[in-house]
Amino acid sequence: MARPNKSLLAAVSLLALSACSDRTIFSSWHQPAGEFLDEGQFGNPTMNNMQIQNGEKPFLIDLNKRFSQEVPSTITFDFNSARLDSQAMAILQQQARWIRQFPEVRFKVFGHADLVGSDAYNKRLGQRRANTVVAYLSELGVSRSRLEAVVSFGENQPVIFTQNRERQNRRTVTEVSGFVQGHPTVMNGKYAEVIFREYVESATETPSLNQTGVAGTE
C-alpha cells in the first residue's frame, strides 16, 4: 500500500484552512463594520462605525461636551467607600436635572478607584461606586432604561498616578453614550434639535414693557 504524500496532505490542509478563512470573510460582508474588532466596551468599533454611518456620532460628541461644560460630570468618594456624601449628592442632583431635559439620550457611568489595594478588589469597588450613582440618579427621576450598564475601570485610569490614597482617583464619571432607539426625535434624525433645544428657546423674542408697564414693542 502506497504511503500518503506528506506534501499533498499539507497542501490539502492549507486549502481547507483557506476555505474556512474565506467563509469567515464572506460572512463578515453581512455584519456591521468592525464586528470582528468588537471589544464589548463603550466606544467599541462596531458601535463607533454604526454611529458614524447613521449620523449620530458628531452630535453625541457635541452633546457630551455640553454636558461636561454645564454640569460636573465627576464625583469623588471617601477611601474604600461607595457611599455618597452631601457634595456628591448635590452634583448628581445637577446631573439628574440636566439628564431629564433630554429624554432621547442615554448615559453611562464609569467607576474608578485609586491604586491602593489589589486590581480585583478595586475593580469591584469601582463597580459598586457606579452602581450607587445609577441607583441615585434613578431615585431622582431618571429612567433606569436610559442609564446603560455601568462599567468599572478599577485602578486602571488614575487622574493622578500615585500608590498612595488619592481622592481624585476615587471617582465616577457620567457620560453621554447614545440615543434612545425608537424615540420619535431619533427616528426622524433630528439630532441637532436635541443639542440646541435650549439655545433655540432662549433666543425667542419676548414682549418688552413700555413706560406704563404694558407689554409692547420697542
Model pTM score? 0.63
CATH code linked to domain 73-177: 3.30.1330.60
The three three-digit cell numbers of residue 34, written as one number:
468592525
Q: Nearest Cα to 33, choosing from 53, 63, 7, 13?
A: 53
Mean pLDDT of the chain: 73
| Banded pLDDT at 11 (limits 50, 70, 90) | low
Task: Assign 10 a pLDDT band (cuts: 50, 70, 90).
Answer: low
* C-alpha cell recorded at residue 39: 471589544
Question: Worst-scoring range by mean pLDDT, 41-50, 158-167, 171-180?
Answer: 41-50
Over residues 187-209, the mean pLDDT reads 49
pLDDT at 3: 57
Residue 27 binned pLDDT confidence (cut-offs 50, 70, 90): very low
The pLDDT of residue 215 is above 70: no
Q: Are strands 74-76 and 171-179 parallel, antiparallel or unpaired?
A: antiparallel
Q: pLDDT tens digits, residue range 36-81?
A: 344 444 455 544 444 444 455 677 788 888 899 999 999 999 999 9
Q: Is the pLDDT of residue 6 over 70?
A: no
> CA nearest 78: which of 87, 90, 91, 68?
87
Lowest mean pLDDT among 15-24, 52-61, 102-111, 123-132: 15-24
Residue 164 has pLDDT above 90, yes or no: yes
> What does the angle CA 39 – CA 177 – CA 55 come to, to the nearest 5 degrees?
95
**Shortest CA distance to 154 belongs to which of 172, 136, 167?**
172
For 115-157, write each residue's pLDDT tens digit: 999 999 999 999 999 999 999 999 999 999 889 878 899 999 9
- Of residues 2 and 51, more confidence is placed in 2
DSSP code at position 38: -
The mean pLDDT of 107-115, rounded to a whole number, is 96
Sequence spans of domains, the chain: 73-177
- Phi/psi at 92 (nearest 5 deg)? -65, -30
Res 9 pLDDT > 70: no
CB 128 within 8 A of CB 104: no
| pLDDT above 70 as % of the chain | 56
